[in-house]
């Protein structure tokens, strides 16, 4: 048995990975997680939660992946449904044994300024107006990456 | 609770058909058609949605009380019990709406709370044994403010316009002022209501994010089509009130004004939002299908027939229009159930996949076309 194990451990990783039924053994990067979250839409407006600026924070660790997100309003009954979808999307990127937690937070309150340029263009905001509001040449995409701390600049 | 709500819907529609002259099962409840539909069905469903949004267990007393009100209306208990239960339910929802307003002090949460207050006031009048035509403006206010408030929230996605916000506030004030005044000066008060409804329909057509989302695909476009067609009916109701000197006491003009809002405006919204509210409230998925347009088309065509019958003084045409209104609602209920069943039978797709996935990528594709 020991000999078999030693032989196994000398094989190149590409072959051993196939043997683990689960192909994902590494933690996803923040970009991978964010891309997974882009598949989660608010069906009413047909826009994903990342472009809407609802994703505040992504923390990736071996102990678990934690997402902080909000909804456009606490009066929305869809919170549970969208967080369920988000959890499923992120879990698909995570290796086995790494849990995914989605926290629904209400601070800072969502404002339309948090939307991405793509979303703003889709809803008819002109780029000049959105740049002036965000006070940042790159626009709100930066704020999304940095998380709620960036709201101090407003 | 949803079962009670749906029961109210069937009873209420049956009662309505009886009032149009059909030999329908709900004939004995003809006199409470309005209460069954507004406090029984809409009240239960809207207060249920509000409780889910608030997330507090006490708020669920509202839909429960409204459901019980329907039961009380049809079993042999003192007639006062149904209005008492409905009034209690509406006050619970008012409380829930005020908590939501305190959490987020914005124009739209205030509008939702004012809608709840209008409903509660109407129920009090019903409890005080006022004729339904006295109660009707308050209940119209409830439904219109609830929907307008939710659309105001979504309109934040579009570039802000301080002028538009002021106009909205003025229209809401006019609506509530007109409804209140209708208690002492019915013609003047309901004329103001007519102006407010027409104004709100124009505001919504102009400001609603549906103007944009109608260019998307799949479910998103369907929702937008429902909304925009609903706004047309809201304008019809307002215009009808203006043309006939306010909301009368019954008869053809009254039928048009009330049902353009209740069927044309409100049910178009219900058809559009069922595919997203059902999954949110019941944790049950619904797969979108182009079939969803069928009940909507049926509803609009049957309304045209009904109102043509009202306009031309042809009770037969009105009755047939009304019958097809009922069939449209039935088609909607059956279609929703079928969509739930279809989704449940569908084998699990990828981890994040569900019936909506194809339309999501369609939507993204159509949005990216917009960029060019």
Name the more confident of B354 and B6. Answer: B6
Chain B contact for A142 (CB, 8 A cutoff):
no
User: How many domains would you assign to chain B?
Assistant: 1
Q: Which residues pair with A47 in a beta bridge?
A: A42
Res B14 pLDDT > 70: yes
Question: Mind listing the pLDDT tens digit for each residue in B275-316?
Answer: 888 777 777 777 889 999 999 999 999 999 999 999 999 999
Q: What is the pLDDT of residue A21?
A: 45
Enumerate domains of chain A plus CATH numbers: 24-110 (3.30.300.130), 111-145 (no CATH)
Write out chain B residues lying below 8 Å of A73, CB-based.
104, 106, 108-109, 153
Write out chain B residues lying below 8 Å of A50, CB-based.
none
Nearest chain A Cα to B288, which residue? A43
Q: Is residue B26 part of a domain?
A: yes
Name the more confident of A149 and B252. Answer: B252
List of residues 6+ apart from B271 with CB closer than 8 A: B226, B292, B295, B296, B299, B332
Helix H or strand E segment including A118: helix A117-122
Alpha carbon distance A127, A106 (integer Å) = 27
Sole residue written with tokens 């969509």? B339
Q: Is residue B262 part of a domain?
A: no
- Contact assessment for residue B179 and residue B141, using Cβ atoms and an 8 Å cutoff: yes
- How large is the average pLDDT for residues A40-49? 89
- Contact assessment for residue A113 and residue A133, using Cβ atoms and an 8 Å cutoff: yes
Q: What is the pLDDT of residue A132?
A: 52
Res B116 pLDDT > 90: yes
Cβ contact B352–A85 (<8 Å): yes
- How large is the average pLDDT for residues B105-128? 96
Cβ contact B352–A45 (<8 Å): no
Res B241 pLDDT > 90: yes
Q: What is the pLDDT of residue A151?
A: 41
Q: Is residue B353 part of a domain?
A: no
Nearest chain A Cα to B152, which residue? A73
Q: Is residue B66 part of a domain?
A: yes
Res B318 pLDDT > 60: yes
Res A149 pLDDT > 70: no
Cβ contact B223–A43 (<8 Å): yes
DSSP SS3 for A77: coil
Whether the bond between A108 and the residue before it is cis, its omega within 30 degrees of 0, is yes
Res A6 pLDDT > 90: no
Please give the model's pTM, rounded to 2 decimal places: 0.83
Res A13 pLDDT > 80: no
Q: Which of A130-134, B55-59, B154-158 has the lowest mean pLDDT?
A: A130-134
Cβ contact B103–A85 (<8 Å): no
Mean pLDDT of chain B: 89
Cβ contact A81–B279 (<8 Å): yes
Picking from B158, B154, B43, B159, the residue whose alpha carbon sits closest to that of residue B107 is B154
- How large is the average pLDDT for residues B163-173? 95
- How large is the average pLDDT for residues A43-57? 92
- Contact assessment for residue A106 and residue A68, using Cβ atoms and an 8 Å cutoff: no
Sole residue written with tokens 């994903």? A48
Cβ contact B223–A112 (<8 Å): no
Res B23 pLDDT > 90: no
Q: What is the pLDDT of residue A127?
A: 61
Write out chain B residues lying below 8 Å of A109, CB-based.
104
Cβ contact A124–B112 (<8 Å): no
Confidence of residue B347 (pLDDT cuts 50, 70, 90): low
Confidence of residue B17 (pLDDT cuts 50, 70, 90): confident
Q: What is the pLDDT of residue B352?
A: 40
Name the more confident of B4 and B243. Answer: B243
Nearest to A124 among B50, B158, B364 (CB): B158
Q: What is the pLDDT of residue A97?
A: 85
DSSP SS3 for A41: strand
Q: What is the pLDDT of residue A2?
A: 53
Nearest to A76 among B53, B158, B360 (CB): B53
List of residues 6+ apart from A129 with CB closer than 8 A: B159
Confidence of residue A124 (pLDDT cuts 50, 70, 90): confident
Alpha carbon distance B352, A90 (integer Å) = 8
The domain in which residue B9 lies consists of 1-107
Res B99 pLDDT > 80: yes
Name the more confident of B26 and B14. Answer: B14
Write out chain A residues lying below 8 Å of B100, CB-based.
74-75
Nearest chain A Cα to B285, which residue? A81
The 3-state secondary structure of chain B reads: CHHHHHHHHHHHHHHHHHHCCCCCCCHHHHHHHHHHHHHHHHHHHHHHHHHHHHCCHHHHHHHHHHHHHHHHHHCCCCCCHHHHHHHHHHHHHHHHHHHHHHHCCCHHHHHHHHHHHHHHHHHHHHHCCCCHHHHHHHHHHHHHHHHHHHHHHHHHHCCCCHHHHHHHHHHHHHHHHHHHHCCCCHHHHHHHHHHHHHHHHHHHHHHCCHHHHCCCCHHHHHHHHHHHHHHHHHHHHHHHHHHCCCCCCCHHHHHHHHHHHHHHHHHHHHHHHHHHHHHHHHCCCCCCCHHHHHHHHHHHHHHHHHHHHHHHCCHHHHHHHHHHHHHHHHHHHHHHHHHHHHHHHCCCCCCCCCCCHHHHHHHHHHHHHHHC
Q: Is residue B47 part of a domain?
A: yes
Picking from B99, B88, B100, the residue whose alpha carbon sits closest to that of residue B39 is B88
Nearest-10 crossing angle of helices B268-282, B43-54: 40
Nearest to A41 among B108, B158, B360 (CB): B360
Confidence of residue B217 (pLDDT cuts 50, 70, 90): confident
Confidence of residue B64 (pLDDT cuts 50, 70, 90): very high
ipTM over 0.85: no
Res A129 pLDDT > 70: no
State the smallest CA–CA distance between residue B113 and chain A in angstroms.
11
Read off the tokens for A69: 């997100």
Question: Mind listing the pLDDT tens digit for each residue in A58-89?
Answer: 999 989 999 999 998 877 778 888 898 999 99
Laid out side by side, the sheet with A55-61 consists of: A55-61, A64-69, A100-104
Question: Mind listing the pLDDT tens digit for each residue in B174-210?
Answer: 999 999 999 999 999 999 999 999 999 999 999 998 9
Q: What is the pLDDT of residue B103?
A: 85
Cβ contact B103–A106 (<8 Å): yes
Q: Is residue B268 part of a domain?
A: no
Nearest to A75 among B53, B159, B357 (CB): B53
Res A26 pLDDT > 80: yes
Nearest to A124 among B159, B359, B360 (CB): B159
Nearest to A39 among B50, B275, B360 (CB): B360
Q: What is the pLDDT of residue B343?
A: 81
Cβ contact A45–B103 (<8 Å): no
Res A102 pLDDT > 70: yes
What is the tally of helices (H) and strands (E) in chain A?
7, 5
Q: Is residue B145 part of a domain?
A: no
Mean pLDDT of chain A: 76
Q: Is residue B369 part of a domain?
A: no
In chain A, which among 40-79 make CB contacts under 8 A with chain B? 40-41, 43-48, 72-79
Q: What is the pLDDT of residue B166?
A: 94
Picking from B52, B221, B360, B368 by the largest number of A CB atoms within 10 A of its own CB, the best residue to mutate is B360
Cβ contact B276–A76 (<8 Å): no
Confidence of residue A134 (pLDDT cuts 50, 70, 90): low
Cβ contact B158–A123 (<8 Å): yes
């Amino acid at each position: 048995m020991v000999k078999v194990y030693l032989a196994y451990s000398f094989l190149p990783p590409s072959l051993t990975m196939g043997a683990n039924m689960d192909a994902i053994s590494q933690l996803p990067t923040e970009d991978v997680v964010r891309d997974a979250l882009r598949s989660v839409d608010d069906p009413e407006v047909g826009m994903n939660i990342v472009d809407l600026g609802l994703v505040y924070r992504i923390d990736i660790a071996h102990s678990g992946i934690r997402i902080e997100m909000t909804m456009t309003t606490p009066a929305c009954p869809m919170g549970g449904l969208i967080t369920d979808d988000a959890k499923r999307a992120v879990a698909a990127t995570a290796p086995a044994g790494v849990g995914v937690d989605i926290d629904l937070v209400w601070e800072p309150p969502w404002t339309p300024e948090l939307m991405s340029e793509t979303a703003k263009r889709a809803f008819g905001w002109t780029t000049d107006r959105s740049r002036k509001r965000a006070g940042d040449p790159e626009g709100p995409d930066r704020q999304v990456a940095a998380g709620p701390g960036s709201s101090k600049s407003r | 609770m949803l079962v009670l709500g749906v029961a109210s819907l069937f009873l209420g529609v049956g009662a309505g058909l009886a009032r149009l002259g059909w030999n329908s099962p709900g004939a004995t409840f003809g006199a409470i058609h309005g209460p069954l539909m507004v406090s029984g069905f809409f009240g239960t469903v809207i207060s249920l949605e509000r409780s889910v949004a608030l997330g507090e267990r006490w708020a669920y007393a509202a839909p429960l009380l409204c459901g019980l009100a329907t039961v009380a209306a049809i079993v042999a208990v003192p007639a006062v019990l149904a209005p008492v239960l409905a009034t209690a339910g509406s006050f619970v929802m008012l409380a829930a709406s005020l908590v939501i307003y305190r959490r987020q002090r914005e124009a739209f949460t205030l509008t939702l709370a004012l809608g709840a207050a209008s409903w509660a006031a109407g129920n009090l009048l019903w409890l005080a044994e006022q004729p339904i035509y006295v109660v009707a403006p308050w209940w119209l206010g409830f439904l219109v403010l609830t929907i307008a408030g939710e659309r105001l929230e979504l309109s934040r996605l579009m570039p802000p316009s301080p002028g538009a916000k002021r106009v909205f506030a003025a229209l809401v004030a006019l609506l509530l002022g007109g409804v209140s005044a209708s208690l002492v000066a019915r013609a003047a008060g309901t004329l103001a209501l007519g102006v407010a409804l027409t104004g709100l329909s124009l505001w919504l057509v102009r400001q609603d994010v549906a103007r944009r989302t109608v260019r998307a695909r799949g479910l998103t476009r369907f929702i937008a089509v429902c909304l925009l067609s609903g706004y047309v009916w809201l304008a019809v109701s307002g215009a009808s009130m203006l043309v006939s000197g306010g909301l009368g006491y019954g008869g053809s003009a009254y039928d048009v004004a009330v049902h353009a809002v209740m069927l044309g405006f409100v049910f178009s919204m219900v058809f559009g939002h069922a595919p997203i509210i059902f999954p949110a409230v019941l944790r049950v998925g619904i797969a979108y299908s182009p079939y969803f347009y069928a009940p909507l088309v049926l509803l609009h065509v049957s309304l045209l027939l009904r109102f043509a019958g009202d306009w031309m003084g042809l009770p037969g045409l009105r009755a047939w229009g009304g019958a097809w209104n009922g069939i449209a609602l039935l088609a909607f209920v059956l279609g929703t159930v079928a969509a739930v069943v279809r989704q449940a039978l569908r084998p699990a797709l990828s981890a994040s996949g569900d019936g909506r996935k194809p339309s999501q990528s369609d939507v993204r594709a159509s949005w990216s076309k917009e960029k060019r």
